[in-house]
Structure 1
Amino acid sequence: MAEGKTGKSAGKGRPGGAARKNAATLEARIIDAALALAAKRPWGEVTLADIAAKAGVGLGELVAAFPSRLNIISAVMARIDAKVLDGLDPDLAAEPVRERLLDILISRFEALAPHKAAVRSIARFLAHEPEAALALRRAVLRSQAAMLAGAGVETYGPGGAARALGLAFVYRQGLRVWLEDDDPGMARTMAEIDRRLRDGERVLGRLAGIGGAARIARSLCSALLERRRKTAGTDSGGAPAA
């Protein structure tokens, strides 16, 4: 009897695993279809129905998995997060934090390289849709917190939130350069990220101490707002596209 129960329980477990696998496969097909369409035409013109048709799934299935195109963009970020973190070089642990972050962000752009046209399309859309860019803020910060964690940097509490905000700014500036950088070695992109990380180190050094996290957050927010004012209408991306 015990054997029968065990077998029955195991039988119950298998369909659950199969369902999860099927859901993951469905989501992957939808993400791939969305990226393929974004690479061919402006993201603002791509509808959920278009994506469903490209993926070969019903619109109801797609909406159940991703209620909006912003959910799909968030899923693209999560996919890239996983790819970068799964491919981390163990030897990075011996490097200074700035070098670790530089390597991780460059690895992110390498992972995005096959989808550069799609990322450009999405970035252009977000540049002219501030509400959509704002709605992605949580996903962006979660993504950059994952990159910090990969570099062994503390992400908890106000200090962690400030670091994620700062890295999001660095990444956004790097993304703007990367979208125009045709060099396979990404020399311009690497130089921009390195410069921004060095600037960040100096800011952190000046603001360290009691209450430093709050001052860091205020300083970064001020820098972001100032940058947005200066580049309003000319920027190539309101929020990182992936």
Structure 2
Amino acid sequence: MPKTERILKVMQRVYERQNFTVGELAEEFSVSYRTMLRYLHELSHLGVPLYAHEGKNGGYSILNTRQQRARTEQMGESIQRIIKPQTLIVGLEMKIPFTAYYMSHALKPKLWQELEQRKAEIPYLRRTSKPQYVAAVLNRQQIYHYVAGMEVTTIRDMPERMVSLTLPTQEYAMYTHEGHSNREDTDQSYAYVLQQLKQRGLTPNPTRYCLELRASVHASLAQIYVPLTV
């Protein structure tokens, strides 16, 4: 079945079901979880009003007109254009082929667990009332690079097997993600907000790292920074 025809069938099924999970649709259409998520992202960019529900039994639903308006107003108000000064991060990394992206579901929690156990080894932590745990995410040249780390004031005396990132001063679109910290839920938040940025005429910069800042490893509230092309 041609891809365009398959996406149209997925769209029809989404509107029929109203509520669903990626896994359910992937099984129904005999495709991988990754492929189905990509289809849903494409539908979102086409204007299909998908909304992610967090939690153990979370999934997706189609927003009605009133819900769409309320959600758009809520997200629009939460998106801010800000200049973030140079950011220094020390932490643990994973680099995997983008085709194996969903291996991150298993690998990410292990990174954060090890970081939590070893955070006392990281010198020069940035002391602030804002979130200290930082995920830096970059997709480039078919490689998915993820760093689970913490902000520091100086990169020196690196702990064993940890890496550092020095991110330059950058203009970002910053918004608040409320929901589960898992990749699927966060991805849907990204997809929805990217759609809103497009409507506002803002262009993400794919060559720079996106950031996710949390007050704790499992916090349901995150500040997400999407770098903008100036």
Q: Normalised by the shorter chain, which TM-score bucket? A: under 0.3
Structure with a larger share of its residues in helix: 1
Structure with a larger share of its residues in strand: 2
TM-score of the aligned structures, taking structure 2 as reference length: 0.27
Task: Pick the structure with greater CA Rg.
Answer: 1
